[in-house]
A = this chain, B = another copy of it.
Amino acid sequence: MTPPSRTLRADAARNRELLLAAAEAEFAERGLEASVADIARRAGVGKGTVFRHFATKDDLIAAIVRTHVGTLDAAGQRLLAAADPAAALLEFLTVAGGQREQRDVSYLLNADDAGPEVVALRERLYRTVCLLVDRAREANAVRADVTGHDVVLLMCAPNHVVSFVKDPPPDLWRRYLAIIFDGLRPEGAHPLAPPAPEL
């Protein structure tokens, strides 16, 4: 009669991780329209188990976004303390790109329907990036007319760009990050026409 909740919880937690991993892999291969059934199969569990852990397919997506955004924010926070602000910003963008490696999951960042929790996380990430950019700007490592919001928006571009290549080398995104990052530098910067968007 003693609740065996220990092992059960362990199993459940394991299944949760299996599902997140399977979902991410499946989404990466097939896009968001990957079927829940395939995800379940890949995770080696029944379809019903998916819904036990994530009430909705959207919830599952949100959980993945949460992970991504959370991880990224943590990296950003850590890099706020780095010695070289320019290197810190580039490293941050490198972490962002590496996180997706090969896959454009930028649409995950869309989800206005993603629920308040995700929105909050996103805003936190936004503030972190602003701080990183501010530091870099003060160190004259990025042009004066570029904002944190600009960088947030451009953050996904390298992976997105690569998504049009058939069988890209796994780090091709670095090439486009380098180009874009050069565009953010103060050297040889041309004035920017429309002002940066708010928020």
**14 further interface pairs, Cβ-Cβ under 8 Å (given A109-B164, A166-B199):** A33-B33, A106-B160, A156-B161, A157-B161, A171-B193, A171-B194, A172-B197, A174-B193, A178-B191, A178-B193, A179-B183, A180-B183, A182-B182, A183-B183
Contact A154 B175 (CB under 8 A): no
Interface SS majority for chain A: loop
A166 cross-chain contacts in B, Cβ below 8 A: 112, 199
A2 within 8 A of B: no
The complex places the Cα of A131 from the Cα of B133 at a distance, in Å, of 36
Query: How many Å lie between the Cα of A61 and that of B75 in the bound state?
Result: 40
Q: B194, A172: Cβ atoms under 8 Å?
A: yes
Given contacts A175-B193, A190-B178, A193-B178, contact A154 B161 (CB under 8 A): yes
A188 nearest CB neighbor, chain B only: B187
Residues of B within 8 A of A184 (CB): 179, 183
Please indicate which of the listed interface residues A110, A168, A172, A181 has the most CB atoms of chain B within 10 Å of its own CB. A172
Q: Which residues does chain B contribute within 8 Å of A190, judged by CB atoms?
A: 178, 181-182
Number of residues on chain A facing chain B (CB within 8 A): 47
Question: What residues of B have a CB within 8 angstroms of the CB of A150 in the complex?
Answer: 175-176, 179
Q: Could you tell me if A154 and B176 are in contact, using CB atoms closer than 8 angstroms?
A: yes
Q: Are B183 and A197 in contact, CB atoms less than 8 angstroms apart?
A: no
Q: Does A1 sit within 8 A of B, measured CB to CB? A: no
Copies of this chain, complex-wide, total 4
Q: Pick the contact of A169: B112, B161, B163, B194 (CB < 8 A).
A: B194
User: Does A165 belong to the interface (CB within 8 Å)?
Assistant: yes
Q: Does A121 contact B (CB under 8 A)?
A: no
Chain B contacts for A165, CB-based, 8 A: 153, 197
Tell me, yes or no, whether A16 is within 8 Å of chain B by CB.
no
The reply to whether A164 and B196 contact each other, CB–CB distance below 8 Å, is: no
For residue A187, give the distance in angstroms from its CB to the closest CB of chain B. Answer: 3
